[in-house]
Amino acid sequence: MQETDTEKTESETQPARLSFFKRWWFWFILLCLVAGGAFAVWNKQQLPAAPASGKSGTRAASLPTPVSVAPVRTGGMNLYLTGLGSVIPLNTVTVKSRVDGQLMEVHYREGQNVTKGALLAVIDPRPFQVQLTQAEGQMARDREQLNNARMDLERYRTLWKQDSIPRQQLDTQEALVRQFEGAVRVDQGQIDNARLQLIYSRVTAPIGGRVGLRQVDAGNIVHANDQTGLVVITQLQPITVVFPIAEDSLPQLMARLKKGERLAVDAFDREQKKRLAGGTLLTVDNQIDPATGTVKLKAVFPNSGNELFPNQFVNARLLVETRHDSIIVPAVAVQRGPQGAFVYVVNADSTVTLRPITTGVSQDGDTAVTKGLQAGEKVVVDGAERLREGSKVEVKEPGQKEQGAPKGQRNEGKR
């Protein structure tokens, strides 16, 4: 009886299990269908829109790309050595007083250009005038005593010849004359010193140049051992610029100097856009700085218009060589890639060819090409970023706007 009940329970549970598995597979299949539909919709949104028609797509692809071109020309290219230098005056003098006294007068204006020997200031000369008067009075007294001693000496010599006085008295008189002669020379030295002090009381410019800011005002007591001085004078015309170059460039430079050539040097502002002044190379330093591997050069500039100012930082450019008949292209035409420099050359059929080149020196927006181009060829200077080998181009005139390409194509090219 017990076995019969167990069999009955198992027979009732089996249909329930079958119903549960049927429902589970149904929901699993439904979930897969929903996920597949969602993925199909998302994938469709990611695909680019197809062109409206095959005809319009072909027409857009065949339109030429507007570019600007420039001819390859020949000319001279200058080889420069550049360095960041500082302006240094040829002479700078701190004018100091050579005597002690009160500063009575100031005869210069701050920033004024003065000539050599111009009167700058006056120190109270009255003490030195008194010293001169005393020295001259002492000189007059000692000179009269010398004259009297000389007359006595002549008398003693006559008496000694007559054997009227002893020899000792004559020798004493001769010594007295020599003593007065020495006193007169000392007096003359004191007179010269007093006159020199009077000259020093008038402070004059030792060099010509520009006067700086006044260090001492009138009425102050100045001393010969003052460290600040009265004023600083800086020579501005001519003026020099000291700048370094790499030691590897020194042999080429020295070879030009041995020939006696005068090499031109230009001074530019910090941005190297504005030329400030032109001059010539003056000299080369006698040693190389081992810390930087550079050697200092000094160039001199007339500076007639005061273009350069002491301690000013400038970019110096030294012309070493001029290479004539060089192949020259605009610097903007030169492109860089994994294989090196190249340009796009425009062919006669309005297509472009990617041409590898070897570049040389660059200056003022131009680049010298040592290999890869011939004079008269045309290279692309604007629009090269949208070109490939064999691309069709349309040369636009200066100032002409891009035409012919649809707006969407131009935007795509920019991206």
Intervals of CATH 2.40.50.100 along the chain: 92-233
Q: Which residue has the higher pLDDT, 190 or 363?
A: 190
What per-residue confidence (pLDDT) applies to 55?
47
pTM: 0.63
Residue 344 in contact with residue 357, Cβ under 8 Å? no
What per-residue confidence (pLDDT) applies to 236?
93
Please give the share of the chain, as a percent, with pLDDT higher than 90: 49
CATH of 92-233, one of 2.40.50.100, 3.30.450.20, 3.40.50.300, 3.40.30.10: 2.40.50.100
Work out the average pLDDT over 307-335: 89
User: Of how many residues is the chain composed?
Assistant: 415
Lowest mean pLDDT among 97-111, 135-149, 353-367: 353-367
Work out the average pLDDT over 176-184: 94
Lowest mean pLDDT among 40-49, 349-358, 374-383: 40-49
Query: In terms of DSSP H, where are the helices of 201-332?
Result: 250-258
CA–CA dist 386, 342 (Å, integer): 15
Q: Sort residue 219 into left (φ over 0), alpha (ψ -120 to 50) or beta.
A: left
Number of helices followed by number of strands (H, E) in the chain: 6, 22
What per-residue confidence (pLDDT) applies to 272?
84
Residue 404 in contact with residue 369, Cβ under 8 Å? no
Q: What 8-state DSSP symbol labels residue 270? A: T
CATH of 80-90+234-323, one of 3.10.180.10, 2.60.120.260, 2.40.50.100, 2.40.30.170: 2.40.30.170
Q: What 8-state DSSP symbol labels residue 182? A: H
Q: What is the pLDDT of residues 119-150, one digit of tens each?
A: 999 999 999 999 999 999 999 999 999 999 99
Q: Which residue has the higher pLDDT, 358 or 125?
A: 125
Residue 402 — very low, low, confident or very high, per pLDDT cuts 50/70/90? very low
Q: At what angle do helices 126-161 and 167-200 cross, to 10 degrees?
A: 160
- 65-71 vs 393-395, strand pairing mode: parallel
